[in-house]
């Protein structure tokens, strides 16, 4: 059992609240911030054996430029310590990375107009994550805040079976689909979902550091960034390199 899995809620709450005071969330808009995050991703993915070494030592893809992609850096005491990418179904852009693996489940949800948050590219600085096991909880907090801001209904979680227990405890996630074979991966990936409206009160009572203010959410999700124009219908781009999608949900 990992350090994260073993942490008791009471101890976690105190540590997370304390760490939250040292954390700054910043949306990656300028080139410097984005490049630093792409390098952090590269280090994390290379360490896991999910990608091969590259001369430029950066890891990015076309999804980063989608109109509904929100990329964040998580800074502890001013130093980049983690990152996550959130794709959100918006009126002008609804493509989600996880659809590439579970189109039969996710496409009907999108067609029905569900507001969904799909967190990917979830990475952390190795040394800090070992010293601060609550860091992943606070990085994932961004997805929770997005649900409140955009009045979301579901958080998608494309995860390996061994990670289901973590999300079940943290967000009361439920399994939608058994693990499926995944191209270029040695382990299958299943789909879990968080029904935000059903579990919000219970989860926030258990983990009060997930609560947020209108001002905090507005500062994180204001429309102050225009991504590169892309064709959101070209969802097959995520099927070209599937390993780059699945790994980001690991904790």
Q: Cα separations (Å) of 35 from 61, 62, 93, 115?
A: 12, 14, 24, 29
Specify the pLDDT at position 96.
95
> Cα angle at 182 between 104 and 133, to 5 degrees?
105
The domains found in the chain, sorted by start residue, are: 3-220+241-249 (3.40.630.30)
- Could you tell me if 243 and 185 are in contact, meaning their C-beta atoms sit under 8 angstroms apart? yes
Strands across the sheet with 116-124, in order? 23-27, 69-76, 79-88, 116-124, 154-159, 189-195, 174-180
Which single residue is written with the structure tokens 């040695």?
Answer: 186
The CA distance from 47 to 27, in Å, is: 25
pLDDT digits (tens, 9 = 90+) for 65-76: 999 999 999 999
Distant-in-sequence, close-in-space partners of 65: CB < 8 Å, separation ≥ 6: 227, 228, 230
Query: What's the mean pLDDT in 212-225?
Result: 86
Query: What's the mean pLDDT in 223-234?
Result: 45
The CA distance from 89 to 215, in Å, is: 22
Specify the pLDDT at position 61.
86
């Amino acid at each position: 059992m990992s350090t994260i899995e073993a942490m008791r809620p009471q101890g976690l709450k105190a540590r997370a609240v304390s760490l939250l005071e040292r954390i700054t969330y910043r949306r990656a808009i300028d080139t410097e911030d984005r490049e630093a995050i792409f390098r952090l991703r590269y280090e994390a993915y290379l360490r896991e054996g999910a990608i091969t070494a590259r001369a430029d030592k950066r890891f990015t893809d076309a999804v980063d430029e989608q109109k509904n992609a929100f990329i964040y850096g998580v800074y502890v005491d001013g130093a980049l310590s983690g990152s996550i990418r959130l794709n959100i179904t918006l009126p002008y852009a609804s493509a989600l990375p996880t659809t590439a693996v579970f189109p039969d489940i996710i496409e009907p949800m999108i067609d029905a107009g569900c507001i969904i948050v799909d967190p990917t590219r979830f990475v952390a600085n190795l040394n800090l994550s070992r010293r601060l096991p609550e860091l992943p909880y606070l990085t994932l907090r961004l997805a929770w805040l997005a649900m409140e801001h955009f009045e979301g209904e579901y958080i998608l979680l494309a995860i390996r079976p061994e990670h289901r227990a973590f999300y079940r405890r943290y967000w009361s996630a439920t399994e939608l689909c058994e693990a499926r074979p995944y191209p270029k991966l040695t382990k299958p990936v299943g789909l879990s979902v968080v029904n935000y409206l059903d579990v919000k009160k219970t989860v926030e009572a258990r983990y009060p550091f997930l609560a947020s203010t209108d001002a905090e959410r507005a500062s994180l999700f204001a429309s102050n960034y225009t991504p590169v124009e892309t064709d959101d219908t070209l969802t097959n781009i995520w099927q070209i390199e599937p390993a780059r999608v699945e790994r980001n949900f690991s904790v």
